[in-house]
Amino acid sequence: MDAFRLWLLAAGRGFQILAALVAGGGGFYLFLQFGASDGIDAFDILRAGLIFISTAWLAIGASGAFLGLLTRAPKQPETSGPLSTRTVVLMPMYNEDPRETFARLAAMDESLQATGYGASFDIAILSDTRDDARAAQEWVWFHHLLDVRGGHGRMFYRRRDENSGKKAGNIESFIATSGAAYDFAVILDADSLMEGETIVALARRMEAAPDMGLIQTLPQIVNAKSRFGRGQQFAAAFHSPVFARGQAMLQGRTGPFWGHNAITRVNAFAESCGLPVLPGKAPFGGHILSHDYVEAALLARNNWTVRLDDDLGGSYEEGPENIVDHAKRDRRWCQGNLQHSKLILAPGLKGWSRFTFLQGILAYISPLFWLAFIIASILAPLTATNQPNYYPNEYWQFPVLPPDQTSKAIGLAVGVIGLLIMPKMLVWLKAALTGRTRGFGGAGLAGLSALAELLSSSLMAPVFLMYQTRSVIQVLMGRDGGWPPNNRGDGRLNLRDAWAASNWISLTGIVGLIAAIWLTPALVPWLLPVGLPMIAAPLIIMWSSRPSRTALFSVPQERAQPPIVTRHQAICDEWAAHPAQ
């Protein structure tokens, strides 16, 4: 079986690389054919190279989804009977609402105790809060948690004087000072929720696999209210399991770690995951922001298995409710992923860990390739020696390409769009055939939701492209984005706030389309799907932040709310009515 899995792993990785080369090569060829009528110059080759990189990147994601559709999560062994190990549940905090956060811990502790194995688990709150007034509230709510749950002796709270290393340093500090008391540690975020049975199952799977360094669950988004949030929630519930299955299949023993909703072996983490302080100043130097993938790579380097168990349910988190909050969080991830350029050649890393670093870097660099291609295409007439005649008579009419170029352009566009759409449509088809769509309101509603998610994500894509481009440019210019706190709760934005956050995107879209009309009018129809959403960015941001009141984007967690989510909300309501003193 091990030999077969190794063969399957090699075949999957080979398929992904081949798909990227074929798609990228096809895009390169079609684009050069597209420009062949007026001769191929260096500028055409540059644009074809940008198409190759961008299309190959899309093919990597599409092939991962295809592999996820063809594979199933293997049944993982678990121990039975009493637990022979001790586990600590770690909740890092950074300027969070203490009532909401501690209510999550109360719900999880209640769920753990209901399993009958609660005595094997402790809870530790690791505060990095910088605001003294909020820290005082944390202390009050912690004692309230102790009293409500009878947590004396098994629930602990500490606040660091300095938040060196951010979240990674917070956890590392706990491991160094208190980790020896535990075999395993479940790592959460402040918005995490996990069913007690899921936490127990994680501990049992760690017990059954002595070489296991870390098991990552697949968190599902809950409590989304806005149009943007519910779209993200649907995509996470409907599409992400397939994409994650493909990722898990490709990564094998060097699987992903997303920094939360995971369990790690404490001694493995302690001996492997001491993170270096990168040389130089931020943003490329200093403490590593995207620490999770680095920790997974360091565990794998020491021959510990890192695995994604996407078959486990009962793992939840919350997501941003608007595009602006998502972009702020994405700015930190961008800086952290680009820092990995200093680690990609670190000694002893597994080959796939290096490839994972490269994928993370490309995830933020690839929008620059698309933007560079658009800009280069608009400016192409300034460098062309033989200008094509887009206006066949003396009267102005809608610009057109010659028929042979039009067919090739359409072929290129269809190929690119197919790489974006086909995987998600195949996910819907398989879900409809296997009955998985029942939890999403049936095959019809799930199909409409998938289509709506495709349309809305396509509408927002140019806005995200601009935010990611700005993030990369800021990092390359040496600007440190730091670690801003997350915004929780209602993310509704009015038009003034949306305009303040995105007016530069609108102005860029206006300038780009005017330049295209002046220099390359035949490209204007092809640029409208990018340019118009950029111009309308404030409206899109405002509209998508408003509450969603449609049956679209229905997910199983809404139709039958998980017990842990229900209990957390009940505790929040109870504590709001009777605040801690």
> For the chain, which residues make up each domain, given as ranges?
87-361
pLDDT of residue 251: 84
State the Cα–Cα distance between residues 138 and 157, nearest whole angstrom. Answer: 9
- CA angle at residue 279 from 277 to 284, to 5 degrees? 90
Interval 316-324 mean pLDDT: 95
Q: Which residues of 160-183 are buried (b: 16+ CB within 10 A; e: fewer)?
A: beebebbbbbbbbbbbeebbeebb
Count helices and strands (H / E) in the chain.
19, 10
Strands in 262-265's sheet, in edge-to-edge order, are 155-159, 121-127, 87-93, 184-187, 262-265, 212-216, 305-308
When pLDDT is averaged across residues 10-18 and rounded to a whole number, the result is 81
- pTM for the structure as a whole: 0.90
Q: Is 198 exposed, middle or buried (0-12, 13-18, 19+ CB in 10 A)?
A: buried
Overall average pLDDT of the 91-100 stretch:
93
At 435, list the tokens. Answer: 């009955």
In sequence order, the 6+-apart residues with CB closer than 8 A to the CB of 147 are none
Angstrom distance (rounded) from CA 192 to CA 100: 11
Task: Judge whether residue 392 has pLDDT over 50.
Answer: no
Per-residue burial over 313-330, b if 16 or more Cβ lie within 10 Å, else e, is ebbbbbbbbbbbbbbbeb
Cα gap 485→498, rounded to integer Å: 20
User: In this predicted model, what pLDDT tens digit does every residue of 482-539 receive, in sequence order?
Assistant: 777 777 667 899 999 999 999 999 999 999 999 999 888 878 888 999 999 999 999 9
**What count of other Cβ atoms lies within 10 Å of the Cβ of residue 560?**
9
Tell me the HSE value of 352 on the side-chain side, using a 13 A CA sphere: 21
Which helix (H) or strand (E) is 399 found in, with range?
none
CB 430 within 8 A of CB 245: no
What does the pLDDT read at residue 24? 82
Take residue 505 and report the two structure tokens written for it: 């995107």
**Does the pLDDT at position 351 exceed 80?**
yes
Q: What is the pLDDT of residue 398?
A: 43
C-alpha to C-alpha distances, 340 to 236, 304, 481, nearest whole angstrom: 26, 21, 16
The answer to whether the CB of 534 falls within 8 A of the CB of 509 is yes
pLDDT at 30: 76
Across 29-33, 84-88, 451-455, least confident range? 29-33
Alpha carbons 51 and 216: distance in angstroms, whole number: 34
pLDDT, tens only, 403-414: 555 555 555 565
CB 88 within 8 A of CB 186: yes
Output the pLDDT for position 397.
Answer: 43
Q: What is the pLDDT of residue 54?
A: 83
Please indicate whether residue 379 or residue 258 has the higher confidence score (pLDDT).
Answer: 258
From 59-63, 98-102, 492-496, 515-519, the region with the lowest mean pLDDT: 59-63
Cα–Cα distance between 318 and 456 in angstroms, integer?
A: 20
Model confidence at 396: pLDDT above 70: no
The fold of the 87-361 domain, in CATH, is Spore Coat Polysaccharide Biosynthesis Protein SpsA; Chain A (3.90.550)
CB atoms within 10 A of CB 431: 23
Record the tokens describing residue 169, joined without a space.
């340093």
Q: Are 318 and 486 in contact (CB under 8 A)?
A: no
What spatial distance separates the first Cα and last Cα of the chain, rounded to whole Å?
A: 59
Classify burial at 72, counting beta carbons within 10 Å of its beta carbon; exposed 0-12, middle 13-18, buried 19 or more.
exposed
> Among residues of the chain, what percentage have pLDDT more than 70?
91
Measured CA to CA in angstroms, residue 544 lies from 320, 324, 367, 493, 552 at distances of: 12, 11, 22, 9, 14
Is the pLDDT reported for residue 222 higher than 50? Answer: yes
Q: Strand locations in 181-312, DSSP E? A: 184-187, 193-194, 212-216, 220-221, 262-265, 305-308
Q: What is the pLDDT of residue 240?
A: 92
Would you state the pLDDT for residue 579?
82
Q: Is 263 exposed, middle or buried (0-12, 13-18, 19+ CB in 10 A)?
A: buried
Q: Are 138 and 128 in contact (CB under 8 A)?
A: no
Answer yes or no: is pLDDT of 1 > 50: no
- pLDDT of 270 above 70: yes
Which of 30-34, 66-70, 256-260, 334-338 shows the lowest per-residue confidence on average (mean pLDDT)? 30-34
Q: What is the largest CA-CA distance in the chain?
A: 87
Please give the pLDDT value at position 383: 65
What is the pLDDT confidence band of residue 51, given thresholds at 50, 70 and 90? Answer: confident
3-state helix, strand, coil in the chain (%, to 5): 65, 10, 30
Percent of the chain residues past pLDDT 90, beyond the cut:
63
Per-residue pLDDT reduced to its tens digit, 131-159: 899 999 999 999 999 999 999 999 999 99
Is a pLDDT exceeding 90 seen at residue 477? yes
**What's the pLDDT score for residue 556?**
94
pLDDT above 60: residue 402: no
- What is the C-alpha to C-alpha distance for residues 21 and 28, in angstroms, rounded to an integer? 10
